[in-house]
Amino acid sequence: MEDEQSYDKARRKILWSIVNGLYLVGSRYEDDCNVMTCSFVTQVATSPKLVGIGVETGSKSAELIENGKAYSLMFLRRSQRDVVRKFVKPALCDREKRELNGYSYEDGPLTKVPVLKEALAFAECSLYEKLHFESHVFFIGEVLNVVSNAEEVPDGTPAADGRVLEVLRMEDTNMHYGG
Ligand SMILES: Cc1cc2nc3c(=O)[nH]c(=O)nc-3n(C[C@H](O)[C@H](O)[C@H](O)COP(=O)(O)O)c2cc1C
């Protein structure tokens, strides 16, 4: 029993060491919308341009993405860790004020899915494929549109370390997810 517990702990620690960014995912169906913090994010193909996200089964976001067939992926600055803490429960969506948990948003120009004005950059994705697992649904979205608000990289020129954007990563917080 103790062996099982210590193996479980060790396994979790190793899986936690997978390097992840921290993003926000926006979703919408009819008048309801949401934004959630998401770290299970990866590009899965270049042609077509596909990006996958793992979203908890039964979450509000999973339901909205299933029905709305689109999502937005928002990239944040390394200094924006307080923003991700605000989106770990279903968000309060005020369509009249255009606010989610008090943060101003706009509708993505192609998908009408919410995008926070705070975002450094965002991608609008249309649902392409999905895989259901017990804990999560892996949604694969086709990237329809990418918009960058980053003044520091107007032409997308990579920084000295090769990165185009300095985005928030799990290691910038004291949080873990998955494992
Ligand atoms: C650091 C961190 C990373 C997270 N990553 C994910 C993730 O990749 N997928 C996910 O479904 N939930 C993730 N969550 C939990 C969701 O943000 C939270 O359960 C979600 O807001 C609830 O979903 P809902 O608002 O759609 O109901 C993460 C939470 C934290 C604190």
Q: Which domain holds residue 99?
A: 18-172
Kindly state whether residue 68 falls inside one of the protein's structural domains: yes
CA angle 162, 167, 169 (to 5 degrees): 110
CA distance 97 to 158: 37
Kindly state whether residue 6 falls inside one of the protein's structural domains: no
pTM of whole model > 0.85?
yes
Kindly state whether residue 117 falls inside one of the protein's structural domains: yes
| Ligand 1 binding pocket mutation candidate from 59, 86, 100 (most atoms within 8 A of CB) | 59
Residue 89 Cβ inside 6 Å of ligand 1? The answer reads yes
Ranges of beta strands (E only) in 92-165 are 93-94, 99-100, 103-107, 114-116, 121-132, 136-148
What token pair was written down for 134? 């017990």
Residue 155 DSSP class: T
Kindly state whether residue 2 falls inside one of the protein's structural domains: no
pLDDT in tens, 19-61: 999 999 999 999 999 999 999 999 999 999 999 999 999 999 9
Kindly state whether residue 13 falls inside one of the protein's structural domains: no
| Atom of ligand 1 at shortest range from CA of 54 | 9
Kindly state whether residue 91 falls inside one of the protein's structural domains: yes
Exposure b/e, 136-168, CB count within 10 A at least 16 = b: bbbbbbbbeeeebebeebeeeeeeeeeeebbbb
User: CATH number for the domain including 51?
Assistant: 2.30.110.10
The sheet that has 103-107: what strands, in order across it? 93-94, 99-100, 103-107, 114-116
Closest CA to 24 of 96, 122, 92: 122
Residue nearest to atom 16 of ligand 1 (CA): 88
Residue 90 DSSP class: P
Token pair 């008048």 is found at: 31
> How sure is the predictor about 161, in pLDDT bands with cuts at 50, 70 and 90?
low
Kindly state whether residue 89 falls inside one of the protein's structural domains: yes
pLDDT in tens, 79-128: 999 999 999 999 999 999 999 999 999 999 999 999 999 999 999 999 99
SS3 call for 16: helix
Kindly state whether residue 84 falls inside one of the protein's structural domains: yes
Residue nearest to atom 10 of ligand 1 (CA): 55
Number of domains in the chain: 1
| Ligand 1 binding pocket mutation candidate from 40, 56, 101, 168 (most atoms within 8 A of CB) | 56
